[in-house]
């Protein structure tokens, strides 16, 4: 990650910006799409193998969300 926010916070902020909504008012909760604690933990641990790349992909609010081991969030 390049900032002090968690991957979950980055996902919420990225989607809120894309949808032009207040992050606190987004429904359904992110937990309906993915376990927030598990996402944060996966990214925090990353990949210990230099030949492997960690990506977590899921759908939330009609967005295909991809989070990599650096915590970078991309929407498709």
For residue 47, the model assigns a pLDDT of 66
The closest alpha carbon to 68, from 21, 7, 4, 6, belongs to: 7
Domain boundaries, the chain: 7-75
63-68 and 73-75 as β-strands: parallel, antiparallel, unpaired?
A: antiparallel
pTM for the full model?
Answer: 0.87
If DSSP codes are grouped into helix, strand and coil, which group holds residue 28?
coil
If phi > 0 it is left, if psi is from -120 to 50 it is alpha, else beta; for residue 10 that is alpha
Quick: pLDDT tens for 25-62.
Answer: 999 999 999 999 999 999 988 767 776 788 999 999 99
């Amino acid at each position: 990650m390049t900032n002090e926010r968690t991957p979950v916070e980055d996902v919420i902020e990225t989607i809120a910006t894309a949808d032009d909504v207040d992050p606190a008012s987004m429904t359904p909760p992110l937990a309906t799409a993915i376990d927030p604690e598990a996402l944060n933990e996966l990214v925090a641990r990353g990949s210990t193998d230099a030949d492997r790349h960690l990506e977590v992909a899921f759908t939330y609010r009609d967005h295909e969300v991809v989070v990599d081991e650096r915590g970078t969030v991309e929407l498709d």
